[in-house]
Amino acid sequence: MAAALALAERGRGRTAPNPNVGCVLVRDGHVVGRGWTQPGGRPHAEAMALAQAGDKARGATAYVTLEPCAHESPRGPACADLLVQTRVARVVAALRDPDPRTDGSGFARLYDAGIQVEFGVLEAEARRSMAGFLTRLAHGRPHITLKLATSLDGRIALSTGESKWITGPQARAHAHLERARHDAILVGRGTFLADSPKLDVRLPGLGDRAPRRILLSSTGPTPPGWERVADMRDVRDLSAIDSLMVEGGAKAATAFLRADWVDRLLLYRAPILIGGGKPAVEGFGLAALSEAHDRWRLLDSRLLGSDRFEVYERNACSPES
């Protein structure tokens, strides 16, 4: 399943509105097929792995990061049917698919055909991998990552607005990798005007992975090559955006925090002090310190060059967000 999850990562940020799934077929201790959801959402991971395995799929175990789909579409067959037709012996899935068109019926179809089914293997990891798809289904909005590059004293720019660069080259390269994993990136008009950000992916081999660029501005105009939303909640209506990275500035970040829409926090912290300058976020309506505690859980922490990189995941999503 870990190998299937690694394959699933290849599709992350490119498969919306479909989930980025990974699949590994194993027979007699050998991998006979590998697949991952292709850009645009089709072919599905299972279809790719089965095509690769050919006759060797018969009697194999399929490790798949999401319940095989039970719904046909004009763009391809139902993966549960494909697995039945090729007579795999066993399907191990990480997660049941909450999409109402499948939601248990993919597993049922496999059971009915005499295929052994297990699920719940590496479920938490699979939830993280497909957070965009799952958040869209559960909350009707994209999964939102807020990225902040700050000084030790929590500043994102000097008071003059200068912010290039607070962090070093390793941290910036890592942020580009994160861009490649998202469907879209959003900045506020203040950042657009101050930094003219390209928001592309300047990493060897990943130049074609630049996400869509969204400008948050009620005053327009929409620059060429950008899409614009006048209100942050309008990101719900952008098609095929299930994962969104907010890259600032402070006002845009604050708007998403105030709405309680930030699911994941990426903090790149440089070993510098700025003093004064622009705080990373403004007030977002906290009434008491007790409200601030237990909201964020540290998932990862490491050094990137001389900068400290931390990933936080929020503990729970309120039902309305």
Question: Which chain residues interact with ligand NAP by CB under 6 A?
Answer: 148-149, 156-157, 161, 163, 166, 187-191, 194-195, 216-219, 232, 247-252, 255, 278
Q: Which is nearer to ligand NAP, 79 or 274 (CB)?
A: 274
Closer Cβ to ligand NAP, 195 or 307, answer by number: 195
The nearest distance, CB 152 to ligand NAP, in angstroms, is: 13
Q: Is 46 one of the annotated active-site residues of the chain?
A: yes
CB of 145 to ligand NAP, least distance (A): 13
- Choose, from 46, 67, 178, 247, the residue flagged as catalytic: 46
Q: Which is nearer to ligand NAP, 107 or 192 (CB)?
A: 192
Minimum CB distance to ligand NAP, residue 155 (Å): 8
Nearer to ligand NAP by Cβ, of 14 and 278: the residue is: 278
Question: Shortest Cβ distance from residue 309 to ligand NAP (Å)?
Answer: 13
| Cβ nearer to ligand NAP, comparing 5 with 245 | 245
Work out the angle at residue 315's Cα, subtended by the Cα atoms of residues 314 and 318, and round it to the nearest 5 degrees. 90
CA distance to 38, 120, 193, 308, per residue, from 127 (Å)? 19, 11, 36, 26
Gap between the Cα atoms of 277 and 49, Å rounded: 53
CB 280 within 8 A of CB 250: yes
Smallest gap from residue 59 Cβ to ligand NAP (A): 52
- Give the catalytic positions in this structure: 46
